[in-house]
C-alpha cells in the first residue's frame, strides 16, 4: 500500500511575495513529479480564488478550511512588513491550521505573521536581514537570530530572505525523503545543495560594510592579510589612528568588535577549503590565520552551528 500523502499548504494573502512562494513550491512539485514523493500540495488563502501578489501576478488558491490534520504549513512573506499587518483573517487561519500541523514554517517576512499568531513566543527564529531588528523590537519574547539561512526549533521553521525558502524546502524534503532526493532536486533547481541552516545570510564584508574611510580600509586590509596577527594595535597602525580610537570607531560603524570581525572573516575564508577540499583542518586553520584548529572549531560552532568536520561531512553527503 502506498504511503499517505503528506499535505503541504502554502498560505498566501494580498500583496504576498511571489518568489517566497515560487521557490519552495517548485521544490516540492519537483519531488512529486520526478521522485514520486507522496506530497499533496495546495496554495490556500482566506477565501480562495485569485490572490494578487506584490508583483501583480495573481495565484489561484483554495479556501483554507481547517482540516483535521495537515503535515506542513508554510507561510510566505511580503516585500514590506506593512503588508503583513491588517491580515486578521490570515492570522486566524494560521492559528487554526497550526494547531493541526506537524510542522510550521515561514519564508522571509512571513515570520511576522507567525509572530502575530503567537507561534514564535519564546522561540529562536530568523527573517530577512533587513527586518531582523524590527522583528525583535516588535516581539521581544522571540529570540531573533539574523545570521542563519534558516532556523529550526522543534516543529517551527523560519527562513531568511526570499531564496532562503528554497534551502528550507530542501531541508524538509531531505527529512521526509532522504538526502539523495533533496540533492537531485537541488540539481534540478540549479542551486547549491544545500546551504546549511547555520550558513550566514550574507558575507561578512557586506554585513559589516562601514562608510568609506579608515574602518573600511582596515577591513579590506584584514581580509587581504588574514595570516597576519591582526590585533587592534596592528589594524589601527595600518589606518594611522590610535588603538583606542580605532576600537571605538570600528564598533560604532560595524556593530562588532575588531576581534569578532576578524574571526568572521577568517571563518568565511575557511569555508570553501572546509567544504570543497580535502585539506586537513589544522592546515586550513593555519592558512586563514587561526593558528590552531581548536580556535577554528570554536568559531565555526558559534557562527555556523557545526564543527568544521561536520560541515565537511555535510558538504560531501
Dihedral angle over CA of 59, 65, 70, 75, nearest 10: 40
The DSSP code for 156 is E
Residue ranges of domains in the chain:
6-189, 204-316
pLDDT of amino acid 273: 87
Region label for 255, one of left (φ > 0), alpha (ψ between -120 and 50) or beta (otherwise): left
pLDDT of amino acid 203: 56
Q: Does domain 204-316 have CATH number 1.10.10.60?
A: yes
Averaged over 306-310, what is the pLDDT?
90
* pLDDT above 90 coverage of the chain, percent: 66
Q: Is the predicted pLDDT of residue 222 greater than 60, yes or no? A: yes
Q: Tell me the pLDDT band of 301, cut-offs 50, 70 and 90.
A: confident
Q: Phi, psi (5° rounding) for residue 130?
A: -65, -25
Calpha distance 72→191 (Å, rounded): 23
For the chain, give the mean pLDDT: 89
| Topology alike, domains 6-189 and 204-316 | no
Pick the CATH number of 6-189 from 1.20.990.10, 3.40.50.720, 1.10.357.10, 3.40.50.880: 3.40.50.880
The 8 Å CB, 24+ separation contacts for 253-260 are 253/210, 253/211, 253/215, 254/208, 254/210, 254/215, 254/219, 255/208, 256/208, 258/218, 258/230, 258/232, 259/232
pLDDT of amino acid 170: 92
Averaged over 136-141, what is the pLDDT?
95
Amino acid at each position: 500500500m502506498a504511503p499517505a500523502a503528506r499535505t503541504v499548504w502554502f498560505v498566501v494573502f494580498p500583496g504576498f511575495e511571489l518568489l517566497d512562494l515560487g521557490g519552495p513550491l517548485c521544490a516540492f512539485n519537483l519531488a512529486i513529479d520526478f521522485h514520486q514523493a507522496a506530497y499533496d500540495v495546495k496554495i490556500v488563502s482566506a477565501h480562495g480564488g485569485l490572490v494578487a501578489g506584490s508583483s501583480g501576478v495573481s495565484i489561484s488558491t483554495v479556501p483554507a478550511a481547517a482540516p483535521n490534520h495537515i503535515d506542513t504549513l508554510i507561510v510566505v512573506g511580503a516585500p514590506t512588513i506593512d503588508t503583513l499587518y491588517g491580515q486578521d483573517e490570515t492570522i486566524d487561519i494560521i492559528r487554526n491550521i497550526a494547531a493541526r500541523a506537524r510542522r510550521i514554517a515561514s519564508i522571509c517576512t512571513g515570520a511576522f505573521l507567525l509572530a502575530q499568531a503567537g507561534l514564535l513566543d519564546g522561540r529562536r527564529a530568523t527573517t530577512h536581514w533587513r527586518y531582523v531588528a524590527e522583528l525583535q523590537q516588535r516581539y521581544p519574547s522571540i529570540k531573533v537570530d539574523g545570521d542563519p539561512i534558516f532556523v529550526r526549533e522543534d516543529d517551527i521553521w523560519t527562513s531568511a530572505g526570499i531564496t532562503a525558502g528554497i534551502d528550507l524546502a530542501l531541508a524538509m524534503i531531505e527529512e521526509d525523503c532522504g538526502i539523495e532526493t533533496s540533492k537531485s532536486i537541488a540539481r534540478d533547481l540549479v542551486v547549491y545543495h544545500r546551504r546549511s541552516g547555520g550558513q550566514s545570510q550574507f558575507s561578512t564584508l557586506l554585513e559589516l560594510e562601514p562608510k568609506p574611510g579608515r574602518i573600511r580600509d582596515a577591513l579590506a586590509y584584514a581580509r587581504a592579510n588574514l595570516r597576519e596577527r591582526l590585533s587592534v594595535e596592528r589594524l589601527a597602525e595600518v589606518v594611522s589612528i590610535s588603538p583606542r580610537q580605532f576600537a571605538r570607531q570600528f564598533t560604532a560603524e560595524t556593530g562588532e568588535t575588531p576581534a569578532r570581525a576578524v574571526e568572521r572573516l577568517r571563518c568565511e575564508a575557511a569555508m570553501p577549503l572546509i567544504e570543497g577540499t580535502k585539506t586537513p583542518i589544522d592546515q586550513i586553520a593555519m592558512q586563514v590565520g587561526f593558528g590552531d584548529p581548536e580556535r577554528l572549531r570554536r568559531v565555526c560552532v558559534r557562527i555556523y552551528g557545526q564543527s568544521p568536520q561536520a560541515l565537511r561531512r555535510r558538504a560531501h553527503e
